[in-house]
Structure 1
Amino acid sequence: MAGTYHNHHLLQLVLSCRKITAQVTNTTTSSIIAMASSSEQEFMAHYRAQLNRFPRSQRFWDSKVASRVGEKLGFRLREIGVTAVHIDPREEQSRPQHYRVMVSPLFHSIKNAGVHVSGIQ
């Protein structure tokens, strides 16, 4: 499947109710070259606030957090000279609609950082 893309950097998202993680893998070596997550130190105050909120929420991240994770990942990619990544459109389409809406700002933040993201609408 990776051979059908001209780009050798695959962006993958790992989503749970507690965190969002974005990682970029070099498809030729299968190694992670850059990563950003809502579990990083910067997001701990937000996480604690959500944890102690009443009534308790089932989700600890939102589209604003996803946007910031995308921004951090985009800058990290630019630092190492990566200007384009691709995603698996079938994987993104298989996500529940509420997750697709929430991760859309992540892709836009990566683009705004100067990294082209192919495979999204």
Structure 2
Amino acid sequence: MIDSAVAAAVHDHVRAFNDRDVDALIGGFTEDACWITGSTTVRGRAELTELFSGAMSGLLPTLVVRSLLADADRAACQLVETLTVDGEEVICSIAGFYEFRDGRIASAKIYREGSADVG
């Protein structure tokens, strides 16, 4: 089952991420959103802004959604991320699990193939 509003929110998130549009990206999160990747947990828009701004300037990541399942307040997706680590292009398979509140991401847990930690 695919909830079109939740699926659109995931695609908007990925588009803002790939465009490195931090304002649009952060606007897709609730004020108290929680983001977990590997050993990193950030909470709230200020910490999310810091996390994504740093990653976008250093790692130059891009995402492609390979598959997506969504219902009224949750989404699970398989993504492929291309990023730069120590000057080398790295391609990672990612599983992302998102919870939504009022059309925005309230929490996300991201798993990278092998390890969710980069570098």
TM superposition score normalised by structure 2: 0.26
The answer to which structure has the higher strand fraction is: 2
Determine which structure has the larger helix proportion and give its number: 1
Larger-gyration structure (1/2)? 1
